């Protein structure tokens, strides 16, 4: 089967099962990664600090992108959601390490998140093969 069609990627997060969504959806060469928080899905624990949560968000997103056959280099758009605007700037160095060379379109929004322990949520859209690593078929 080729690279066309739609498929869901699940991470094992209890939220995906309870709410009814996928960590990511691949549709042809497009990859849509759901808003991803700082939970470690293996243990369903979340660190207290916003920077540590941002790092875990990016690890979770990286796992979904990898399963979809792409990398951060393929990310076209990123959205950052935070309950406290003052928490955003401390995350900038972590975010720059992943996106500094990629330069995706980006939006930051201040809003409440689903769980008061969550201090940042990150969502990305990517296109396979648009960045540094071409994807293979198969």
pLDDT per position as a tens digit, 2-57: 556 899 999 878 888 888 999 999 999 999 999 999 999 888 899 999 999 999 99
Tell me the chain's radius of gyration from C-alpha atoms.
15
pLDDT in tens, 99-122: 999 999 999 999 999 999 999 999
* Every domain of the chain and the residues it spans: 6-127
- 12 contacts 32 by C-beta, under 8 angstroms: no
Report which of residues 1 and 93 the model is more confident about. 93
What is the C-alpha to C-alpha distance for residues 78 and 60, in angstroms, rounded to an integer? 14
Q: Residue 11: its pLDDT value, please?
A: 85
Distance (Å) of CA 55 to CA 3, 29, 79, 106, 127? 30, 26, 15, 17, 22
- The three-state secondary structure class of 80 is strand
| Two tokens, residue 74 | 């393929």
Q: Residue 120: its pLDDT value, please?
A: 98
Residues 6+ apart with CB under 8 A from 125: 30, 31, 32, 33, 75, 76, 77
- 13 contacts 57 by C-beta, under 8 angstroms: no
Q: Residue 132: its pLDDT value, please?
A: 56
Q: Would you say domain 6-127 falls under CATH 3.10.20.310?
A: no
């Amino acid at each position: 089967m080729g690279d066309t069609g739609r498929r869901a990627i699940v991470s094992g997060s209890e939220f995906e099962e309870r709410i009814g969504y996928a960590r990511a959806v691949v549709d042809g060469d497009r990859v849509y990664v759901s808003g991803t928080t700082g939970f470690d899905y293996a243990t369903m624990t979340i660190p207290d600090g916003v920077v540590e949560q941002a790092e875990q968000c990016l690890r979770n997103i990286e796992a979904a992108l990898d399963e979809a056959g792409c990398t951060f280099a393929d990310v076209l758009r990123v959205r950052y959601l935070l309950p406290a605007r003052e928490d955003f700037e401390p995350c900038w160095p972590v975010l720059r390490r992943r996106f500094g060379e990629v330069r995706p379109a980006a939006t930051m929004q201040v809003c409440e998140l689903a769980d008061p322990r969550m201090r940042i949520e990150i969502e990305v859209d990517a296109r396979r093969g648009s960045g540094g690593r071409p994807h293979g078929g198969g």
